[in-house]
Amino acid sequence: MDKKMIFGHKNPDTDSICSALVYADLKTQLGDNVKPVRLGELNKETEYVLDYLDVKAPELITKVPEDVKGVILVDHNEFQQSVDNIRDVKILEVIDHHRISNFETNDPLYFRVEPVGCTSTILYKMYQENDKEISKTIATLMLSAIISDSLLFKSPTCTKEDVKAAKELGEIAEINVEEYGLAMLEAGTALDDKTAVELLTMDAKEFSFGESDVIIAQVNAIDTGTVFERREELEAEINKIIKEKELDLFLLVVTDIINSNSDVLAIGKATQNVEEAFKVKLAANRALLEGVVSRKKQIVTHLGDTFK
Amino acid sequence: MDKKMIFGHKNPDTDSICSALVYADLKTQLGDNVKPVRLGELNKETEYVLDYLDVKAPELITKVPEDVKGVILVDHNEFQQSVDNIRDVKILEVIDHHRISNFETNDPLYFRVEPVGCTSTILYKMYQENDKEISKTIATLMLSAIISDSLLFKSPTCTKEDVKAAKELGEIAEINVEEYGLAMLEAGTALDDKTAVELLTMDAKEFSFGESDVIIAQVNAIDTGTVFERREELEAEINKIIKEKELDLFLLVVTDIINSNSDVLAIGKATQNVEEAFKVKLAANRALLEGVVSRKKQIVTHLGDTFK
């Protein structure tokens, strides 16, 4: 296969799926031979987006086939969030908006990380830099990724560039951004049919802070209380995951997308780092983090500092 | 200090010095408060450039002062090649053209690495992207960096983008690129007044390949034989460095800039990796690597693979 594969992180969110599809479109327009793929199941929010547009989901892979020429990572760079055989494949490019950690190559590559709220915001600039056309479908994919990552522009990760990109993409897509965005986010909060394990793994990311291994799982909700009705079952599953992966901490972040707070459940030997990072006291392993909605900017940063 | 500091790698080469000066100019034009600094002594080649332009060298620092707001890395990203207290400072940006390794942050940042031959080639594009003016002096600094990193366009690291940038910069600077470039490169080969230690450290970079620590030092020469007249003295000093830094390998690469070959001297317990990487037999610790002139593209890549 002379193809290159493009994919976002494991437990893909809307940005990871949309950015893979979008960048594949841009690369194809630029004459490259690429294929968007995904490293996990779609979440309800992303399903809503693809259904709305009648776009097929990228093919699911568990490892990069040996005959693939090289890979392009979008929306992540940390190897533990990437495909299992990432160390055996040639990484050609990275387009991302996260902290950089646990990434290395022997060869120089095209690596573009910008401190914006969404990978698709960077891709939008790349269409402009390359003077390439953005179809209505592609515009809606990018817009959906920005709405998802910024919680409709309410997250502190959201920058002026994201807002500007979303506005312009909304015009290209001829879509009511607020209305579409709310429907999309609400679709993502339908958690009733999820098992405890699914809920804990659907948007879980692994981090290494110094010598400590941490999983931070995030779910969005309209009413965070309903998630915690299943606290006992969730704690039992979390303890299994901690044991299996030898984690120092598992943090479940249940984000109230209406009031912009997060209710967290922290388990593991490093729970005191959570208390230190957010200046809270855990009660029954839980705490309310006022105004916290962004894993990247409000959780990883502060929690990471306490492991130094 | 509300300032941000910009610097290239330790043992700065012409690209590290010029790119710090150049990016400080661009950032200042963009309204930022920045100061270019350097992490080591200038080499003869860079001295030639700054003398030619009557430009003052950036201030030498050994660590980032505590009151500096943040730092911008140019021409490197690996922490062991950076300032000693790099882990204690806020990294705001990285502009580089090397492999990515041993770099991490807790915060997202602006990180731009492109597989071109020289950092200044990326900076040249950034002037254009931001529609900012390039003075004759700034053009000559960028041109010098490109000539240095590409050995006057003869290195395999040199891309079309580097050649195009150099041509356009030569026109802005109103300079005869070939003539100036040769004089500049020759100035860099004046090694007679260097002690063995200076010769081994003036352009030495540390690398971690898996669990192994390696230093690769490079010097340019018109006649590589004259360097090896001091082989015994060099070997004695290399053995001291290996012991002190607990290295697995020290590789001295003496590059013939006229014939585009390199004569290497390899010492340490991992010398068999050199033989494996370049399919050569070391004799008296030496080997000729035909056509090899680029540490980055022809040495780090192949050598790194053998440590996997």
Q: What is the DSSP string of chain B?
A: ---EEEE--SS--HHHHHHHHHHHHHHHHTT--EEEEESSPPPHHHHHHHHHHT-PPPEE-SS--TT--EEEEES---GGGS-TTGGGS-EEEEEE-S---S---SS--EEEE-SSS-HHHHHHHHHHHTT----HHHHHHHHHHHHHHHTTTTSTT--HHHHHHHHHHHHHHT--HHHHHHHHHHHHT--TT--HHHHHHTTEEEEEETTEEEEEEEEEES-HHHHHTTHHHHHHHHHHHHHHHT-SEEEEEEEETTTTEEEEEEESTTHHHHHHHHT---BTTEEEETT---IIIIIIHHHHHHT-
Q: Is the Cβ pair B115, A104 closer than 8 Å? A: no
pLDDT tens-digit series, residues B225-237: 889 999 999 999 9
Contact B99 A111 (CB under 8 A): no
pLDDT at A1: 55
- Measure CB to CB from residue A108 to each of B106, B115, B304 and give the nearest one: B115
Query: Which residue is closest to A117 within chain B, CA to CA?
Result: B108
Does the pLDDT at position B52 exceed 80? yes
Q: Strand B204-209's sheet: what is its strand order? A: B204-209, B212-221, B249-256, B261-267, B286-289
Helix axes A177-188, A44-53, angle to 10 degrees: 130
CA-atom Rg of chain A in angstroms? 19
* Whole-prediction pTM: 0.85
Phi, psi of A251 (to 5 degrees): -120, 115
Strands A91-96 and A70-74: parallel
Q: Which residues of B touch A107 (CB under 8 A)?
A: 99, 115, 297, 301
Contacts with A97 from chain B: Cβ below 8 Å = 108
Q: Which residues contact B226 (CB under 8 A, 6 or more apart)?
A: B191
CB of A104 less than 8 A from some CB of B:
yes
CA distance A306 to chain B (A): 11
Min CA distance, A301 vs chain B (Å)?
5
What is the pLDDT averaged over residues B14-25? 98
Query: In angstroms, what separates the C-alpha of A102 from chain B's closest C-alpha?
Result: 7
Would you tell me which residues 277-296 of chain B have a C-beta closer than 8 angstroms to some C-beta of chain A?
A: 296
- pLDDT value at position B112? 97
Backbone angles phi, psi at A199, to 5 degrees: -60, -35
- Contact residues on chain B for A89, CB-CB shorter than 8 A: none
Residue B41 CA to residue B51 CA, distance in Å, equals: 15
B176 touches chain A (CB under 8 A): no
What digits encode the pLDDT tens for the residues A83-117?
999 999 999 999 999 999 999 998 889 999 999 99
Task: Please report which confidence band the pLDDT of residue B161 belongs to, taking 50, 70 and 90 as the band edges.
Answer: very high
Quickly state the pLDDT bin for B42 (edges 50, 70, 90).
Answer: very high
In this complex, is the C-beta atom of B100 within 8 Å of any C-beta atom belonging to chain A? yes
DSSP A85: T
Q: Cβ–Cβ of B99/A114 closer than 8 Å?
A: no
The per-residue pLDDT of chain B, averaged, comes to 94
| For A110, nearest residue in chain B (alpha carbons) | B114
Q: Is there a contact between B115 and A105 if contact means CB atoms under 8 Å apart?
A: no
Interface contact flag, B100 A102, Cβ < 8 Å: no
> From CA A35, how far away is CA A40, in angstroms rounded?
16
Encode pLDDT of B116-153 as tens digits: 999 999 999 999 999 999 999 999 999 999 999 999 99
Which residues in chain A show pLDDT less than 70?
1-2
* Cβ contact, residue pair B99, A108, below 8 Å: yes
Q: Is A255 helix (H, G, I), strand (E, B) or coil?
A: strand
Q: Rounded to the nearest 10 degrees, what angle do helices A14-29 and A136-150 cross at?
A: 150
What residue in B sits closest to A116 (Cα-Cα)? Answer: B108
Interface touch A108/B98, C-beta < 8 Å? yes
Q: How far apart are CA B209 and CA B99, in angstroms?
A: 12
A and B: number of Cβ contacts within 8 A: 79
Q: Looking at A22-31, B108-117, B185-194, which range is the least confident one?
A: B185-194
B31 in contact with chain A, both atoms CB, cutoff 8 A: no
CB contact under 8 A, A105 and B109: no
A289 strand-pairing partners: A262
Judging contacts by C-beta atoms under 8 Å, the chain A residues touching residue B85 are none
Secondary structure element (H or E) that encloses residue A219, with its range: strand A212-221
Q: What percent of chain A has pLDDT over 90?
A: 89
Task: Pick the residue from chain A with its C-alpha nearest to B303.
Answer: A106
Which residues does chain A have within 8 Å of residue B111's beta carbon, measured at their own beta carbons?
100, 111-114
CB contact under 8 A, A106 and B305: yes
Under a CB-based contact definition with an 8 Å cutoff, are residues A152 and A179 in contact?
Answer: no
pLDDT at B1 over 90: no
Please give the pLDDT value at position B222. 85
Q: Are A308 and A210 in contact (CB under 8 A)?
A: yes
- Disruptive mutation site among B107, B121, B214 for chain A (greatest number of A CBs within 10 Å): B107
What is the predicted ipTM? Answer: 0.81
